[in-house]
Amino acid sequence: MTHLQYTPVEEIATIRHELGDTFSSGRTRPIVYRKQQLLQLCYLIEDNQERIREALSSDLGRPRHEIDFLEINGCLLEIKDAYDNVEKWSAPKKSPFSLLWFTLSPVTRMEPKGVVLIISPFNYPYFLTLTPLVPAIAAGNVAMLKPSELTPASASLLAELIPKYLDPELVRVVNGGVPETTKARALYFIRAVLYTGNNRVAKIICAAAAKHLTPVTLEVRKSPCVIDPKCNMKIAAKRIWWGKLINAGQVCMCPDYVVVPEDFQDECVEALKTAYHELHPADPKTSGQMGRIVNERHIDRLKGLLDKTKGTIVFGGEVDRDARYVAPTLIRDVKCDDSLMSEELFGPLLPVVPVKDLDDAIALINSMDEALNIYIFSSDDKFKRRVMDNTRSGTVSVNETILHVMANDAPFGGVGASGYGYSTGKAAFDEFTHFRCTVDQPNW
């Protein structure tokens, strides 16, 4: 495994001050400069695709098609969108004409916030580090990046490549563990923080940011699937497994559990069994088609959840700690108070939770913290509307999983306990932008 060189803790404050000096110089304000840096970020990815694949293979055992889908192409799409739209996004906005204040000529200026801190998780070391960096740069900010120490090959590669391709006084990488992250988030004059990860750490970051009134953008929590018995279960099952097993289930927006009417559970489970074996005819442990769990601690966590479940394992259940492998596992008859429902699974375990009817399904979802995403499988508009109108979540996807994050024209983020703010596209540009209202009354 790659040895990750940590940033000395005593240097982190200096890095912040140097980034602040860059911002104060006004260098990041011109649109030409922002576009040039976005272009350089594009070159960083395009020139180093094979090295990115090798790092992700080392860190997570991830297959090439998954790397290309989101880590590479997802980043490139985000860069292209910002590059093409940065002039429009940054342009001052005139307020609609009104006889009440037309002489004031109110205009909203789109101004950068300053030094932003992006703390990214281990599961998507490039996508979840670089896609938030794109709107931060597009908005005219400077950035401190803190990649996860759990993916050392990817974090080391980012630390090597970013100063080679981007202005080294615009973006700085801070590598390390808890002490380095603690120091970075505690710094005064960090003007915005974006964190993707778990709920426990999110609360710590928010508490630290509150001391300096620093705004925080968060993305965390579980995502349930709600099944309409009238849906095409064969297609739904394939799409659920596809979304569930990307990155071995280590995706914040992957389907976390399936809610199904109790009299439809047998048919749902049978469809999920059939779909899984069609998608993975060979053993995923040896086929190279599924990644690995990031480390032994997460292996032990998943094994503990499986050991405690009172549900029935339909297939799977194998845990190989040395190979960092947990087999895709389908569990039926899972109750709402089961161990598998106690936290975000973040692994290839798929519980099926039977309920009496749709009202009970909605009540179950609402009994938990707000979801990051709710997946609905139905062709009935009334069914979809009932779920959407009576639940809360960051986003909703109907008859599909995962792909909504690629729609960079649409906002992506959580609500309540699943986070707040947005991390991609124009909405993320706005997160990193101060909307500064100006008025100009004639001097007569």
One-letter amino acid of 120: S
Catalytic residue among 225, 252, 254, 268: 252
Nearest to 27 by CA among 141, 178, 125, 113: 141
For the stretch 319-336, pLDDT in tens is 999 999 999 999 999 999
- Six-digit token string for 262: 């109790």
**What would the 3-class secondary structure string for 398-431 be?**
ECCCCHHHHCCCCCCCCCHHHEECCCCHHHHHHH
**What is the rounded CA–CA span in Å between residue 304 and residue 300?**
6
- Six-digit token string for 435: 């909307």
- pLDDT for 251 equals 92
For the stretch 210-220, pLDDT in tens is 888 898 998 87
CATH no., domain 224-406? 3.40.309.10
Indicate the SS3 state at residue 23: helix
Instruction: Considering the domain delimited by 9-220+414-438, tell me its CATH architecture.
Output: 3-Layer(aba) Sandwich (3.40)
For the stretch 153-165, pLDDT in tens is 999 999 999 999 9
pLDDT exceeds cutoff 70 at 262:
yes
Tell me the residue length of the chain: 444
Q: Mean pLDDT check: name the lowest of 205-209, 236-240, 425-429.
A: 205-209
Asked whether the beta carbons of 415 and 392 are under 8 A apart, the reply is: yes
- Work out whether strand 349-355 and strand 329-332 pair parallel, antiparallel, or are unpaired: parallel
Strands (E), 10-112: 93-94, 107-112
pLDDT, the chain, mean: 94
**What is the rounded CA–CA span in Å between residue 90 and residue 139?**
7
Q: What's this model's pTM, rounded to 2 decimal places?
A: 0.94
Find the DSSP H helices in 309-373.
Answer: 358-366
Whether 219 is catalytic: yes
Is the Cα torsion angle 50, 44, 245, 303 positive or negative in sign?
positive
- Six-digit token string for 386: 């009932």
Q: Report CA 111 to chain centroid distance, whole Å.
A: 25
Residues 6+ apart with CB under 8 A from 369: 199, 221, 222, 416, 417, 418
Helix axes 152-165, 49-60, angle to 10 degrees: 160
Main-chain dihedrals φ then ψ at residue 86, nearest 5 degrees: -60, -35
pLDDT exceeds cutoff 70 at 292:
yes
For the stretch 42-74, pLDDT in tens is 999 999 999 999 999 999 999 999 999 889 999
Q: Mean pLDDT check: name the lowest of 131-145, 187-201, 218-232, 428-442.
A: 187-201
- Six-digit token string for 369: 């913290």
Is the Cα torsion angle 120, 125, 128, 131 positive or negative in sign?
positive
Q: Which residues of 20-45 are buried (b: 16+ CB within 10 A; e: fewer)?
A: bebbeeeebeeeebbbebbebbbebb
- pLDDT for 1 equals 66
Q: Which single residue is written with the structure tokens 């929590």?
A: 221
Catalytic residue among 66, 219, 370, 431: 219
- Six-digit token string for 175: 């590598």
One-letter amino acid of 143: A
For the stretch 3-27, pLDDT in tens is 899 999 999 999 999 999 999 999 9
**Mean pLDDT value of segment 299-308:** 97
Whether 252 is catalytic: yes
Start-end ranges of CATH 3.40.605.10 in the chain?
9-220+414-438
Asked whether the beta carbons of 125 and 155 are under 8 A apart, the reply is: yes
Strand order in the sheet with 115-119: 171-173, 142-146, 115-119, 192-196, 216-219, 419-420
Nearest to 338 by CA among 365, 362, 308: 308
Asked whether the beta carbons of 108 and 93 are under 8 A apart, the reply is: yes
**Mean pLDDT value of segment 246-256:** 94
- Residue 43: enclosing H or E segment and its boundaries? helix 31-47
Start-end ranges of CATH 3.40.309.10 in the chain?
224-406
Q: Which single residue is written with the structure tokens 């240097």?
A: 11
- pLDDT for 201 equals 86
- pLDDT for 222 equals 81
For the stretch 337-392, pLDDT in tens is 999 999 999 999 999 999 999 999 999 999 999 999 999 999 999 999 999 999 99
Asked whether the beta carbons of 334 and 309 are under 8 A apart, the reply is: yes
**What is the rounded CA–CA span in Å between residue 175 and residue 5?**
7
For the stretch 134-182, pLDDT in tens is 999 999 999 999 999 999 999 999 999 999 999 999 999 999 998 888 8
